[in-house]
Structures are given as structure tokens and as C-alpha cells.
Amino acid sequence: MKSKIIFFYTLLISSIIYSQNKVGTVDSDYVMNLMPEAKIVLKRAKAYGAKLDSSFQIKVQVYKDKVETYQKNEKILGELAKKTSIQELTQLETDIKKYQNNGQQLMQLKQNELMRPLYKKLSDVIAEVAKANGYSQILTITGNEFAYLDPTFDITDLVLAKLGIEKPTDNN
């Protein structure tokens, strides 16, 4: 009977020891900012933003020109012409406000579209590094708060190495 209890006790202890999870962390924003592709994405996003901005400036200029024309001709216009001009200006102003509001959303959508392949690449490398090093879970440290975190489980440097990115040195 004693040997059975010792056997089960040993089995229980060994299963507890082997079932422990290895948890690691990665600073994904840090890695993303160091990826060379991120600079290309940033350039493309800026170019898209400039295109949106130029379209917006054209709309604003058309509106200003029409306001100026209306103000110059206001005294000679008939009631119907004034009413039509005011409706047109109001519609242009509404369009400009909508375009301005949509511009931010369009920029965010474009940036997300451009960043998606980078996030996929990073996710694949993190999974590969985690599997190769026996981690059961990897947490991102960006945006999360930890009371204590052992830096020996941070795989940021391993992910950078796998991506072929050199870690910059601090020159402070």
C-alpha cells in the first residue's frame, strides 16, 4: 500500500513539474518600429495622406472661390440666384466637412492595410521563436501593465535576430 501511495505521489509531482507553462514577452511595437519595411509603409502612408490633403485643398479652394464670387455679385443677383448660390455654398461646406471627417478614417484604413503584412510577418516569427524555445505563451508588453516581469523571458531580441534586424545601441 505504501508503495502505491509513493507511486501516485511521485506521479502527481512529476505531472505538476512537467505541466508548467513557459511564458514569454515581446515588445511588438519596438520590433515593428525597427523593421525596415515599416519605413516603407510610413512613406506610403504619408504619400496617401498628401494625396488626400491635396484633394481637400482643392475642395477648399473651390469653396473659397465660389464664396468670393458670390460676395462680389451679391448685390446684382436676383433672389432666386442668391438662394441657389447659398444652397450651393452650403452643400460645398457640408461636403468639405464630410471629406475632412472621412479623411482621418481613410488614413487609418490605409495604414492598417499597409501594416497588415508586417503584423503577419511579426506574428509568424514570434510563433516560430516561441515554438523553438519551448514557450507556451507570449505576451506583448506594449499596452499591458505588469507588476513584475522577469526579463529573461523577453524574446524581443530573439525575434529581432530571427528577422535579421540589429538592435540599436544607446548612445546616451
CATH number of the domain bearing residue 116: 3.30.910
pTM of the complete model: 0.62
Asked whether residue 11 is domain-assigned, the answer is no
> Grid coordinates representing 133?
524555445
Asked whether residue 45 is domain-assigned, the answer is yes
Asked whether residue 135 is domain-assigned, the answer is yes
* Higher per-residue confidence, 82 vs 11: 82
- Predicted confidence at residue 152, as pLDDT, reads 72
On whether the CB atoms of residues 142 and 113 are closer than 8 A, the answer is no
Express each pLDDT in 38-90 by its tens digit.
899 999 999 998 888 888 898 889 889 988 988 888 888 888 888 888 899 89
On whether the CB atoms of residues 125 and 82 are closer than 8 A, the answer is no
Report whether pLDDT(19) > 60: no
Asked whether residue 113 is domain-assigned, the answer is yes
Asked whether residue 130 is domain-assigned, the answer is yes
On whether the CB atoms of residues 164 and 134 are closer than 8 A, the answer is no
Count of domains forming the chain: 1
- Predicted confidence at residue 145, as pLDDT, reads 44
Asked whether residue 7 is domain-assigned, the answer is no
Express each pLDDT in 114-157 by its tens digit.
999 998 998 889 888 888 888 777 878 776 544 344 567 788 88
- Predicted confidence at residue 148, as pLDDT, reads 41
Asked whether residue 8 is domain-assigned, the answer is no
The Cα–Cα gap between 38 and 121 comes to 12
Asked whether residue 4 is domain-assigned, the answer is no
* Higher per-residue confidence, 74 vs 11: 74
Domain of 91, in residue numbers = 21-163
Q: For residue 14, give every residue at least 6 positions away whose Cβ sits within 8 Å of its Cβ, in sequence order, or none.
A: none
- Predicted confidence at residue 116, as pLDDT, reads 93
Within the chain, where are the H helices? Answer: 2-18, 28-34, 36-73, 79-132, 156-163
